[in-house]
Amino acid sequence: MSILGGQFAVMMLVSLPANADVDALRGDLEAVREKMGLETAVLREIEDASGATRPESTHLLTVYGADHSGIVAAVCETLADNKVNIDDLATRVVGSEEAPIYTLICELTVPAELDLADLSDEMDAVAVSQGVEVVLRELDQDIL
């Protein structure tokens, strides 16, 4: 869960028994959405990922600067263009109402074949275009 643009957002993965009534669940979810005044609630089937494994995060990216729209989009687009996987992402606005500071922290899995100097250069370009500070560093697996 997170706060995005001042809105509370949650995503959950749930496992249902084979005989579950998905239509009934969808109806129950809609009733909860209406009762709680939620803007959106979506139920979507995904492939079974129970056996899927992913590499451990290799890098940490931190971004901070004056809060404005487009920061997440610019960071994520650059990472996606470089086939970097975002394993975890957290955002927060700190500071005062007069001077809000946006912070973004991402745990990443960077492909071994990717030249880190090139990625750093591209993230520096994002920093300039968005008027933020960006730091990319390798994660010490023992700390995680």
CATH number at residue 100: 3.30.70.260
Instruction: Among 2-6, 7-11, 82-86, 122-126, name the one with the lowest average pLDDT.
Output: 2-6
Between the alpha carbon of residue 52 and those of residues 12, 38, 48, 49, 86, the distances in Å are 17, 32, 8, 5, 16
- Which residue did the predictor score with more confidence, 51 or 140? 140
| Largest Cα span, the chain | 54
Under 8 Å between Cβ of 136 and 61: yes
Same domain, 77 and 117: yes
Question: So what's the pLDDT on residue 27?
Answer: 93
Question: So what's the pLDDT on residue 49?
Answer: 60
Task: With respect to residue 73, please indicate whether it lies within any of the assigned structural domains.
Answer: yes
Non-local (6+) Cβ contacts of 90 within 8 A are 2, 104, 105, 106
Same domain, 83 and 17: no
pLDDT in tens, 77-135: 999 999 999 999 999 988 888 888 999 999 999 999 999 999 999 999 999 999 999 99
Question: So what's the pLDDT on residue 143?
Answer: 52
Q: How many domains does the chain have?
A: 2
Same domain, 24 and 70: no
Same domain, 68 and 15: no
Same domain, 17 and 82: no
Task: With respect to residue 41, please indicate whether it lies within any of the assigned structural domains.
Answer: no
Task: With respect to residue 144, please indicate whether it lies within any of the assigned structural domains.
Answer: no
pLDDT in tens, 25-79: 999 999 998 998 888 888 888 776 665 666 788 999 999 999 888 999 999 999 9
Domain boundaries, position 67:
59-138
- pLDDT over threshold 70, residue 142: no
Same domain, 66 and 105: yes
Query: pTM for the whole thing?
Result: 0.64
Same domain, 25 and 64: no
Question: So what's the pLDDT on residue 1?
Answer: 60
Same domain, 23 and 72: no
Task: With respect to residue 69, please indicate whether it lies within any of the assigned structural domains.
Answer: yes
Task: With respect to residue 121, please indicate whether it lies within any of the assigned structural domains.
Answer: yes
Torsional sign, CA 28, 13, 85, 131: positive
Question: So what's the pLDDT on residue 41?
Answer: 83
Containing 37, the helix (H) or strand (E) segment is none
Question: So what's the pLDDT on residue 19?
Answer: 92
Same domain, 31 and 64: no
Same domain, 134 and 67: yes
- pLDDT over threshold 60, residue 2: yes
